[in-house]
Structure 1
Amino acid sequence: MRIVAPACPPSREEVARGVDLLTSWGLQAELGEHVFDQWGYMAGRDEDRVSDLNEAFSDPGVRAVIAAKGGKGTYRIVDDLDTDAIGRDPKPVVGFSDITHIHLALWSRCRLATLHGPFAKRDDTYTGPASAESLRRALMTTDPVTLHRDPSEASADVVVDGTATGILMGGNLDTIRTETGAGLPSLQGAILFLEHQRGTGLGEVDRALTQLIRSRALDGLRGIALGQFLGFERDLGDPALGGWGIRDILHDRLAGLGVPVLGGLPAGHGTNPPTIPLGTRATIDTATGTLTVLPAVV
């Protein structure tokens, strides 16, 4: 397994702990040459970050690639990914947040199934035993993955009844919005998974969803699976915003699409993130409150 840093530089100590975890599973974990470089807020220059990725894609000894950290910068290198190499030698890529750019590019250009999962940097507060076990199972077994609606999540009350099956795509909302008009693949026939990081307000969520709707990017969807929308956990509606909270924005923008919507999935930027295959067949069922996804490995 090759650890790379397509976005921001990670902590050496946390990566060392991640390597220890991976090797405890019997895997051989090695680092890309530029993982700990720094150029501005990024893990080295663009050409060096993408070189680490492309070397991992083309190396037949590398059987999986895991991002050390997210942050910012992956969008700068995504057009230079050697998707021909990974198309010839498919291997799962693991990460989330800014790494959504890579997930979308690999699906769009070579139909590669990937893994929306935790980074190689390990922090027991953030990625505890449950998160680690979810990653291990997604990498090393062919078991399907099932997530259950958590009523405590900010998106839990956003439900449009029904069931839907399609290829699961998506990830971080801001990242998907950034790819609109650039590298966003067709979502026809897909289940779209969306999650959102802490630090932005209702207006930014509204703008992102509205941009996707106005661009017709959501035409042909079969369903929507909503993960965590952090920062809105106690959002009961802001009087200054007409009493609206995150549930109102999500329902207002998504219910009109005419597809089932399942909110409340405990996946995203929160603690103990699960690992979810992307680019494989998935089913949402609002009656059981479940998202079930086929494996990304064979």
Structure 2
Amino acid sequence: MEIVKPPKLSSGDTVGIVSPASPIAAFCPNRLQRGVECLKNLGFQVTLGTYTSKQTGHTAGTIEDRLSDLHAMYRNPDVKVIVPTIGGYNSHQLLEQLNFDLIAQNPKILLGYSDITALQLGIFARTGMVTYMGPALLPQFGEFGGVFPYTWDSLQNVLMNPQPNGQPMRQSEQWTEENLQWDREDTRARVMQVSTGWKILKHGTAYGRIIAGNLSTLLLLAGTPYWPDMNGAILCVEDDETTDVAMVDRYLTQLRQMGVYHQVSALVVGRFLSATGFSAEDSLETVLTIATRGYAFPIIYDIDFGHTDPMMVLANGVMASLEADHSIALKYVESTVSK
């Protein structure tokens, strides 16, 4: 399959906002507006989908509503990047009726994370279009005081630079998982923690295409035409606060039993929230060691992506290398966008 990279993002470009999954934008208009203003302050124009703030039960509009907004953004020649308001649940409902020909004919950056994994990896699997795990409107661009500098720096490096800089991805010095209720409590900066750094579980080197996403959402694609090619992949996974230790174990074991560990060249695990419940007696290291027993590929964890902030941007389908020895060097070895 030919890999297609969307054109780079430039200052002054138009960002299209959609809600392909949950209807959270309907309940926090102030946070929505703050995210829009952040993007404008960063130098972009913004257009909102017709159904961005709609609620139909547990989703942001019907399947047809959400498809209409997404297709409209791909048809709009002014829109260069599509940013979801948030993830949530049920974006995979759109895959059966998604116009993959339209998407292939109009290469654009699709950003987002969490439940948006279903769209990003489904599109990559069906079209070869590179997609980008990264910030969404409400949680990151709607942050009090604006998007975190680390997140913005990573976005610029990955989406606005058509030349690979050959530099390893930088580790954040601080991070936060503090949860302030949107439109009620988010009127101050969140409390930050000092990062203890990225960690190595299994040493080694790897070279392969980045495949990144939310672990539980990725597994929704198993056995469907939307499952991405894992051969040689540097698989990057994370999950949210609704996922406990037993569920993480369950998901990692499913990957094992699907034969994914026979295929990948490395496993990169994002930082989990404390609500997941890992402890000294029931640790992530133990769960990973048991799930990947018998495999020698490198494994690193506590990496800056997932449901903590700030976050890096990971480009699905782009070649990268990993060196996990005395220190960790994860870097792209080719351009992440086209000119």
Normalising by the residue count of structure 1, what TM-score does the alignment of the two structures yield?
A: 0.89
Structure 1 distance, partners of 2:215, 2:31, is: 26
Q: 2:296 aligns with which of 234, 245, 258?
A: 258
CA apart distance, 1:232? 6.2
CA apart distance, 1:153? 7.2
- 1:1-298 to 2 correspondences below 5 Å: 1-9=15-23, 10=25, 11-121=28-138, 122-124=142-144, 127-142=147-162, 143-144=164-165, 146-148=168-170, 157-182=199-224, 183-231=226-274, 235-237=278-280, 243-287=281-325, 288-293=327-332, 294-298=334-338
Cα–Cα, structure 1 residues 263 and 134, in superposed 2: closer, same or farther, change >3 Å? same
Moved more, 274-283 or 65-74: 274-283
- Which amino acid in structure 2 is aligned with residue 297 of structure 1? V
Structure 2 distance, partners of 1:286, 1:150, is: 18
Moved more, 148-157 or 28-37: 148-157
Structure 1 distance, partners of 2:196, 2:31, is: 29
* Structure 2 unpaired stretches of 5+: 1-14, 174-193
Structure 2 distance, partners of 1:225, 1:50, is: 32
Moved more, 97-106 or 134-143: 134-143
Moved more, 97-106 or 244-253: 244-253
Cα–Cα, structure 1 residues 13 and 153, in superposed 2: closer, same or farther, change >3 Å? same
Percent identity between matched residues is 28
Tell me, yes or no, if the aligned pair for 1:135 and 1:275 is still in contact at 8 Å: yes
- Which amino acid in structure 2 is aligned with residue 231 of structure 1? S
1:116-143 CA-partner distances (Å, limit 9, x unpaired): 1111121237942332333344332235
1:81-126 CA-partner distances (Å, limit 9, x unpaired): 2111111121110000000001111110111111111111212379
Tell me, yes or no, if the aligned pair for 1:67 and 1:120 is still in contact at 8 Å: yes
Cα–Cα, structure 1 residues 150 and 68, in superposed 2: closer, same or farther, change >3 Å? closer
Q: Name the SS for the 1:266 alignment partner.
A: strand
Moved more, 226-235 or 206-215: 226-235
Structure 2 distance, partners of 1:176, 1:233, is: 18
CA apart distance, 1:272? 1.6
- Which amino acid in structure 2 is aligned with residue 254 of structure 1? T
CA apart distance, 1:295? 4.3
Moved more, 146-155 or 120-129: 146-155
Cα–Cα, structure 1 residues 72 and 233, in superposed 2: closer, same or farther, change >3 Å? closer
Equivalent residue pairs, number:
293
Moved runs in structure 1, 4+ residues, more than 4 A? 148-158
Cα–Cα, structure 1 residues 195 and 82, in superposed 2: closer, same or farther, change >3 Å? same
Structure 1 distance, partners of 2:228, 2:299, is: 20
Cα–Cα, structure 1 residues 176 and 233, in superposed 2: closer, same or farther, change >3 Å? closer
Tell me, yes or no, if the aligned pair for 2:198 and 2:328 is still in contact at 8 Å: no
